[in-house]
Amino acid sequence: MNMQGVQPPIQKNKLEEVVMTNTQTSTLWEICRQGLPLVADEAAECWDKGQPFEMEPKYRLARSVEALINQSNWEIGRDEEFA
């Protein structure tokens, strides 16, 4: 409470506002397992903003991880359709 006896509004933690799909969470985990945690951070930031993630060509990932990225990007578009 402040001096006037009014309680300031509660500010949400940014992480509480982000809702990721299971596929997106799995994708981030797999990117980290490939040894690219900073790339995973970039992907999470893109998806949080509702934008598809584009992988830089200098990185090579397993096809299964690339498929997860494509699925996660598709889910971003699907969420916008139904919003």
Digit-coded pLDDT (tens) for 35-53: 999 999 999 999 999 999 9
pTM attached to this predicted model? 0.71
Structure confidence at residue 81 (pLDDT): 56
SS3 content of the chain, % helix, strand, coil (to 5): 60, 0, 40
pLDDT tens digits for 3-25?
566 555 544 445 455 578 999 99
Structure tokens at 33: 């397992």
Alpha-carbon distance 37 to 26, whole Å?
Answer: 13
Structure confidence at residue 83 (pLDDT): 52
Structure confidence at residue 18 (pLDDT): 58
First to last CA, the chain: 37
Structure confidence at residue 12 (pLDDT): 46
Amino acid identity at 31: I
Structure tokens at 71: 């699925």
